[in-house]
Copies of this chain bind each other. A is one copy, B any other.
């Protein structure tokens, strides 16, 4: 399943806005939401949102357990223009050669190589398939 992205907001998917990614954090006392901003890449041919994580992150553990996500993608020039996307993680793969994270670093901050440190853990590609998408602003 792919979702249609209205042409009015397609630019946001190709911008350097941040993705605010909400996940579910299961704890002994119950589940609670987690949200944090991250870089993203829109894979237009697949209709998937790609984010980069390492296996040391709480968000990674959350997504391994529960693939449901919600994401806000904002226009970096106008935070009142944004996309709300809901979907599921359909794959978590190793980021071989750090291709995704280096590409994101280039797009977002103009450096050719992301400063990955060994203690950061294994660099991964999280592939999110949207099942709904709403545009605002």
Contacts and interface: CB of A to CB of B under 8 A. Distances in A.
A22 B37 contact: no
Interface residues of A, number: 25
Contacts of A84: 35-36
A117 interface: no
Label chain A's interface by main secondary structure: strand
B24 A71 contact: no
Nearest to A29: B68
A35 B32 contact: no
A32 B70 contact: yes
B18 A22 contact: no
B31 A72 contact: no
Interface stretch (A44-52, A74-82, A122-130): A74-82
